Structure 1
Amino acid sequence: MWSLLPRKLQATAIVFATIIAYLGLEWTYAWFASTPPGPFRQASFIVTIITGVLVLAANWAWPLLWRMIPALGRTLFPDLNGVWQGKLVSTWVDPATGEVMPPIDATITIRQTLFTTHVSLKTGESTSHSTRAFLERFAETQRFRIWYSYNNDAQAQFQHRSSPHEGVGFLECESDDLGSLTGRYYTARKTTGDIEVSRRSSSTQSKR
């Protein structure tokens, strides 16, 4: 979510945090060096503590703000936290039979905070976890997209036909339908597939 904030606001917050952190370090050094810190340094140290607490509180409270202020989801990015269930449809064709794989049942779990986004996907044979993720907003068409890279690891009994691999994928929704996600994935094994899931639960935050 942080990446979608205006650049000027990001720069202002970073500069402010840097100044406060520097003053806080100066105060700490003066304290341990037995040099009585002046009132300004004392105040800067207090502000440093308060700033750190506020950052942690903002990250923790962000899902609550999403629910209390719906406009945040429309102007920044919707709250996609939760468990999603649906299908993967691979384009892979069995070279021995020429047959296309049937749709695969899949469960996707999305965890978002103010600063991070994590996507995991589980099927009957393997599990994937995102290694990086970033958010993209298409204001003109009111669409929102999560891009992510991932590592996939199949269960031992299936690794003879599904070796561990890396890939990238995306999931997107429209502002008037936040209960379903569609997307696509691309693997390092040169296969692709489509993703279609629906929200089943939005309670991942409370289970952490």
Structure 2
Amino acid sequence: MYLLIGASAIVWFSLAYLNGLDLSKAKDFFRLIPKVVSIDLLLIAVFVKWGWEFKLFRGWLVPFPNLSGTWMGCIYSDWKNPQTGEKPPPIPVMLNVSQSFFHLSCVMRTGEMESRSFSEGFLIDPDRQLKEFAYSYTSKPLVSLSERSTPHDGSVVFRIIEKPKRKLVGRYWTERLTKGEIALEYHTSELLEELPCSIGEHPVTEDNSRR
């Protein structure tokens, strides 16, 4: 609000100077209101669309980091095969984050499932050195796996790491009573639509359908 008021004042005085108006006169003062409001709305629109991404505003005007893009990594599930007692190997995973100043959405994909967030939020508290984001999701496995892997809901909490490398490290749990850890690294600013073959090709097994 202070920034907006300051910008409005600058615009007001600038327009008055360019148009040779005397702001001490009520008529000249109020005739500028429509122009000032229009410029303010334009500045807000530019900030919300692009400006918030600049590091210049991080920390004091924009409290959260920009996570937009594709993140790659692995899921480490604590589920154990009831027949062998062994845990499944790490599951390659891709997370797409679409973020704007007011909105955040996440889509996670493995070779067997796709999950989409329905509730998201940041947990930012510099005084407590807390920098996390969390979301709840609905997971839909491939139709071919419907007999042994049903759609379900779950939640994820990620710790945001920006130095020395951009990483997301967190934990998840589901209503199927499975849980585990997820480790991701920033891959690209593009939102990829499927896992690259080099990391996405893995056999369809009962183990990694438990996520």
TM-score, structure 2 normalization: 0.67
| Residue 191 of structure 2 corresponds to residue 171 of structure 1 | no
> Are 1:197 and 2:194 matched, yes or no?
no
Letter of the 2:48 counterpart: N
Aligned-residue Cα RMSD (Å) equals: 3.0
Q: 1:179 offset after TM fit, Å?
A: 1.2
User: Is the alpha carbon distance of 1:178 and 1:139 closer, same or farther for their aligned partners in structure 2, counting shifts above 3 Å?
Assistant: farther
Equivalent residue, structure 2, for 1:18: none
Q: Give the percent of matched residue pairs that are identical in Structure 1 and Structure 2.
A: 28
Structure with larger Rg: 2
Contact map agreement 2:78 2:180 (CA 8 A) in 1: yes
Unaligned 5+ segments in structure 1 are: 1-8, 14-38
Q: Which residue does the alignment assign to 1:181?
A: 168
Ranges of 4+ aligned residues in structure 1 off by more than 3 Å: 39-56, 140-143
Asked if 1 retains the 8 angstrom alpha-carbon contact of 2:76 and 2:182, the reply is yes
Please give the secondary structure, in 2, of the residue aligned with 1:140.
helix
Q: Which residue of 1 aligns with 2:200?
A: none
| CA-CA distance at 1:158 after TM superposition | 1.5
Partner of 1:116: 103
Residue 72 (structure 1) aligns with: 58
Q: Give the distance between the partners of 1:176 and 1:97, measured in 2 at CA.
A: 40
What TM-score does the superposition give when structure 1 sets the normalisation length? 0.68
SS in structure 1 of the partner of residue 166 of structure 2? strand
* Structure 2 residues without counterparts, runs of 5 or longer: 5-27, 192-211
User: CA 1:50 to 1:132, structure 2 compared with 1: closer, same or farther past 3 Å?
Assistant: farther
Deviation at 1:126, TM superposition (A): 0.4
The separation in 2 between residues aligned to 1:62 and 1:189, in whole angstroms, is: 42
Tell me the SS of whatever aligns to 1:157.
helix
Q: Secondary structure at the match of 1:87?
A: strand
Larger helix share, 1 or 2: 1
Equivalent pairs counted in the alignment come to: 168
